[in-house]
């Protein structure tokens, strides 16, 4: 192993104007610009070893994480990502081949995924139809739709997408914490006709007992509760599991304290026999979480029953080692590290507010 001391730390405020196309829009966040405080740690190691880390945000507030990380403080304004740089052959072919017997399945068929890219709340019906049609053509069988702003509009959009994908495909719903407990139960009672597998984040992510009440109320409707992307430590997950508050556990590769904290949650999920279906998307979340889901399957759960990982088809072109999707499945990464490194040109162009992209946009807004 190469050893070296940290010699330099740089932080960039990188923002992508996703709000212009309605990408990422939901009932809680209507116009997000997917962004990141991007950290590069350089060392004095002879081979030039570097580490890379991100804190994913929705644009506003990135400067808070940026300033904290410049001072060496941990980010908590968005999704803190502590794991930086090469961490060995995580997910690489060599490590898979010495794992627990399921490596061949991962290498040939991958880890099942679902798509959220078709049904952001800000998309027009025409856009939704077109993207759904393309997803079906590409082999997707699992779809998630954003809900929570208006129940009549939710019913209309859910009917549209259910009619397009047919009764045999899997449909999930995501309210992004929009409801209180009674409202969540009432709302989902109206959406139950569309046969969702789960309702994601139906209420505040910190309301353990609220999730438990919703979970119990939805059992007769055959609808599960999925949550976890906003949970910041293993203790919250422990309480959700002990309270029978969820049927699908959603880790987030940046919200939790990097790899170690995520692994402890995977182990608890195994103990409680609750399937892990990670949250992903944003800036680099798919790239990071692919390592965790493959580790979970190979070394912890040894099961794909009721398991799938979110996929959002945005911003992967800005990463040096982008995630690979084949037949609606995550294929194992073959490069060392945590897939966090972004392309230098992308970082340069999208730095806020002085990068080329933002100079043009801010100038246009002034005019």
Set 146, 211, 291, 350: catalytic member: 146
User: Using an 8 Å Cβ cutoff, are 196 and 222 in contact?
Assistant: no
Contact of 350 with 357, CB cutoff 8 Å: yes
Q: Would you say 254 and 34 are in contact if contact means Cβ atoms under 8 Å apart? A: no
**Beta strand pairing status for 248-249 and 224-227?**
parallel
242 CB neighbour count, 10 Å cutoff: 12
Phi, psi for residue 197 in degrees, rounded to 5? -70, -40
Is residue 30 within 8 A of residue 122, CB to CB? The reply is: yes
For the record, the structure tokens of 357 come out as 């992209």
Q: Find how far residue 314's CA is from the centre of its chain.
A: 11
Catalytic residue, from 23, 144, 211, 279: name it.
Answer: 279
Verify whether residue 349 is a known catalytic residue: no
Residue 131: which of 309, 312, 318, 323 has the closest Cα?
312
Give the alpha-carbon dihedral of 344, 64, 87, 93, to 10 degrees.
Answer: -60
- Looking up tokens 């397009």 gives 164
Q: Name the CA dihedral angle for 344, 14, 321, 136, rounded to a multiple of 10 degrees.
A: -130
Per-state percent for the chain, helix, strand, coil, to nearest 5: 40, 15, 45
Q: Measure the CA–CA gap between 358 and 171, rounded to whole angstroms.
A: 36
146 part of the active site:
yes
Annotated catalytic residues are 146, 279
């Amino acid at each position: 192993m190469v050893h070296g001391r940290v010699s330099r730390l740089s932080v960039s405020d990188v923002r992508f104007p996703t709000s212009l196309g309605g990408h990422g829009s939901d009932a809680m966040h209507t116009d997000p610009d997917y962004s990141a405080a991007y950290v590069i740690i350089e060392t004095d190691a002879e081979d030039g070893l570097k580490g890379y880390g991100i804190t994913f945000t929705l644009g506003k507030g990135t400067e808070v994480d940026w300033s904290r990380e410049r001072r060496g403080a941990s980010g908590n304004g968005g999704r803190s990502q502590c794991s930086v740089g090469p961490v060995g052959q995580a997910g690489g072919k060599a490590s898979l081949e010495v794992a627990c017997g399921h490596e061949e399945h991962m290498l040939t068929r991958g880890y099942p995924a679902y798509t959220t890219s078709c049904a952001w709340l800000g998309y027009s019906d025409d856009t939704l139809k077109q993207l759904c049609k393309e997803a079906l053509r590409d082999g997707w069988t699992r779809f998630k739709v954003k809900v929570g702003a208006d129940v009549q509009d939710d019913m209309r959009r859910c009917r549209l997408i259910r009619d397009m994908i047919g009764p045999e495909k899997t449909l999930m719903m995501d309210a992004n914490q929009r409801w209180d407990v009674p409202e969540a139960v009432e709302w989902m009672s109206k959406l139950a006709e569309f046969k969702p597998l789960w309702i994601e984040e139906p209420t505040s992510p910190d309301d353990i007992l609220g999730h438990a009440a919703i979970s119990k109320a939805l059992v007769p409707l055959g609808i599960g509760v999925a949550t976890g992307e906003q949970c910041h430590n293993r203790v919250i997950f422990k309480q959700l599991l002990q309270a029978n508050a969820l049927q699908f556990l959603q880790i987030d590769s940046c919200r939790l304290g990097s790899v170690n904290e995520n692994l402890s949650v995977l182990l608890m999920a195994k103990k409680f026999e609750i399937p892990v279906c990670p949250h992903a998307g944003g800036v680099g979340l798919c790239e990071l979480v692919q390592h965790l889901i493959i580790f979970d399957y190979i070394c912890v759960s040894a099961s794909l029953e009721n398991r799938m990982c979110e996929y959002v088809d945005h911003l992967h072109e800005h990463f040096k080692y982008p995630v690979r999707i084949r037949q609606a499945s995550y294929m194992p990464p073959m490069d060392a590290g945590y897939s966090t490194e972004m392309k230098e040109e992308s970082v340069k162009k999208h730095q806020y507010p002085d990068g080329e992209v933002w100079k043009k946009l801010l100038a246009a807004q002034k005019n």
